[in-house]
Structure 1
Amino acid sequence: MNKPKYPKINYIGNKEKIASWICDQLPADVQTVADVFSGGCSFSYEAKKRGLSVIANDILQINHQLALALIENNDVILNDDDVDLIFSGSLKNGFMTEHYSDVFFFEQECQELDLYRQNIEKLDNPYKKALAFALIRRAMIRKMPYSRFTIPWEKVKQLRDEEYSYAKYGRRRAYHNQSFEFHFRENLRAYNQAVFNNGKQHQALNQDVFEVLNNIQADAVYLDPPYTGTMNNYFGFYGLLDSYISSSIAKPFDNHFMDKKQAIDLFKKLVEYLKPFRYWLFSYNNVSQPNREELAQMLAENGRKVQILETPHIYKVTGKENKQNHKEILFLVENI
């Protein structure tokens, strides 16, 4: 078997470049780890590669599909017949055409997405469906300037104009105008090869963080919450993909960690819900709120041992003037 390799996900805030460093900090007696803000699953994937049993949870449905495809799934891949089925048939006027034509994609592109959504439902295995959603996600992201669904339509059209892009940025970005099918097929092999079995069972969950912490057992919990005070609107970035999966307008979730006024209360609540677990690994950022000292104080209450590590890490959507000032902080907590 080829060595498992995390595929291209394009997830804002992804920890792909430092996932190995984070996993290095896991205590030796950890056998099961819960990644409760799993996002693009880079940490979960690295933990799975290291032979651990992984629980990957995220409140966004599209992130849940990524976790089903790459973490819970041990051996199911998409074959040529599956892919041909997804891209068969005539264009369809459906949910995407009605709600998002000339909003994020052109009308014909939305008709294509409606057809593919209908065909994905015909796949005979939930992990095949999850892989298909993960690959359609990749295709939609590749066609979207800045890889997020918060860009006004006029700007989208402007940036997809290859001559404009070349004149302004020196790059035509032709991949924005390649078809969904092109991007899906181009990435198919990498996603199929990313599926592997480490001999353990895994879970992919789609719950609010407090709900999942109340209902799981694990030796360690890894937390990578949205960083309050930074560009962290994950529902805005990726909520469209949830709408696509459900064929209904997705609603923002409650515990989003975006509101500075609520952040401290949410972190205090997190600490309460983490008390049943022995080890906590908490990713954070040196410009987030509550600040480093406030969070360290919360984590150290009741005699808990807290170690703080740092590594340089660029947060992708931060403005140019701030990128080099950001450091990734990892709080290691032993709950004794």
Structure 2
Amino acid sequence: MSKIKLPVTRYYGSKRKLVERIWNEIENLGLEFNSVLDVFGGTAIFSYYSKVKGKTVIYNDIFTFNTLIGRKLIEHTSNELTYDHAVDLLQPVADRIYLNTIQENFEGIYFTNEENAQIDIFIQNANALENENQRLSAYYLLFQSCIIKRPYNLFHRNNLSMRLNYSGGNFGNKKTWERPFEELFSRFIKELDEFTFENGQPNRAVNSSALNCNEIADLIYIDPPYFNSKGHHTTYHSKYHFLEGLANYGEIANHINPDKNNREIVINKSEEFERPARFLQELEQLILNHVNSIIVISYRNNGVPSIQEISDLLIVCKPGCQIHTIDLGMYGYALNKTNKLNNEFLIIGTNDPLVA
């Protein structure tokens, strides 16, 4: 079978380079399942792979911007937004009154003044699109373009100066950072044309916290936030608050934290699964919410809690529990200098004993 092509996500902790090996581990156990719930959906890589495999997919994520991406890739089967139409969305429409929220509140923080103006116009034009297929495609273009134009693809620092003053070295992609939105749109339109497809199943994307997600599926995939053993942790909300703001554009002005140098937008800020001290307690509740399903937890060693602690928790509810190592090998995380010391682990639990 030819290798499955996947969207090029730039999301922190994305399993894009590991998802095939994760899926193979699940298949090698001979587990039978027709539906998948991806509880921490992110940019939908595991959900997308499950869709390619013909499963009924329920994508879930706490963030609105991720859910919009999930709806495009998982629910929708085509892309109806053309490149020319996307570029037109960067231009103001006659007689339409526009807010200047990004220009007024984020000058010199993430993007140039010109780019801020384009973002203001584009998101309001996208919100006005009546065709849902086109509207979701427009969101996809904007979110992916904003991510790729950011150093580290993140928004937890106000480091526009790093991008503008970058002069080379071991890190960075100055050419990509400076590519205009029009050029990036061409790239992402091609992605949508290639990666939106029909798999014959009633796939859905929902927007809920993990603990409040009441969806039911044969297999629950849990890829929670990772806490390294050194105690350094930046929440996913902090990493992507700007995009969550764009997905709730009309609410941005009233939800900016003026005490933060990066003017964090606190919309949908949550501490669920973002505090190491509560992680195991919350994970136990999540497992109990889906006690009748196959549970697949993806986590890394050298983290808090340990793989053994997670396994010990799962086996209380699932008599069939196995730990599988996915050697990172040549795969690594861009911001981690010690990848060779880390491995990805799958902790898989079923209601019946698993055959080793």
Q: TM-score, normalised by structure 2?
A: 0.85
The question of whether the paired residues in 1 share the 8 Å contact of 2:87 and 2:182 is answered with no
Distance in 1, matches of 2:189 and 2:13, equals: 24
SS of 2:202 mapped into structure 1: coil
Instruction: Say which structure is richer in helix.
Output: 1
% identical aligned pairs = 24
Q: Report how far residue 302 of structure 1 moved.
A: 4.6
**Are 1:64 and 2:80 counterparts?**
no
Contact 1:227 1:257 in 2 (8 A): no
Is the aligned partner of 1:159 residue 2:163?
A: yes
CA contact (8 A) 1:77 1:195 kept: no
Q: Which residue of 2 aligns with 1:126?
A: 132
Deviations along 1:282-321, one digit per CA (max 9) or x if unpaired, are 101102222111111110015521011111235525431x
Question: Separation in 1 of the partners of 2:277 and 2:8?
Answer: 35
- Alignment coverage as a number of residue pairs: 326
Preserved CA contact (<8 Å) 2:150 2:163: no
In structure 2, the partner of 1:225 is 224
Identify which of 239, 244, 247 aligns with 1:245: 247
Alignment correspondent of 1:306? 321
| AA matched with 1:46 | Y
2:333 aligns with one of 299, 316, 323: 316
Out of 253, 260, 265, which is 2:281 matched to? 265
Shift of 1:238: 0.9
Measured after TM superposition, the shift of residue 104 of structure 1 is 1.0
Q: Distance in 1 between matches of 2:180 and 2:170?
A: 22
- Between 280-289 and 223-232, report the one with greater CA deviation: 223-232
Pair 1:335 & 2:341 matched: no
Matched, 1:33 2:36: yes
Quote the RMSD (CA, aligned, Å). 2.3
Distance 1:303 1:66, change over 3 A: closer
In 1, Cα distance between equivalents of 2:220 and 2:318:
18
Unaligned 5+ residue runs, structure 2? Answer: 256-265
- TM-score with structure 1 length normalisation? 0.89
Residue 204 of structure 1: how far off its partner (Å): 0.4
Check whether the contact 1:150–1:236 (CA below 8 A) recurs between aligned residues.
yes
> What's the CA shift for 1:165?
2.1
Which residue of the partner structure matches residue 16 of structure 2? 16
Partner of 1:78: 81
Any conservation in 1 of the 2:36–2:217 contact (CA below 8 Å)?
yes
- Contact (CA 8 Å) 1:68, 1:127: kept in 2 or not? no
Aligned AA (2:278)? Q
Question: Does structure 2 conserve the Cα–Cα contact (< 8 Å) formed by 1:96 and 1:244?
Answer: no
For 1:30 and 1:88, the matched residues in 2 are separated by: 47
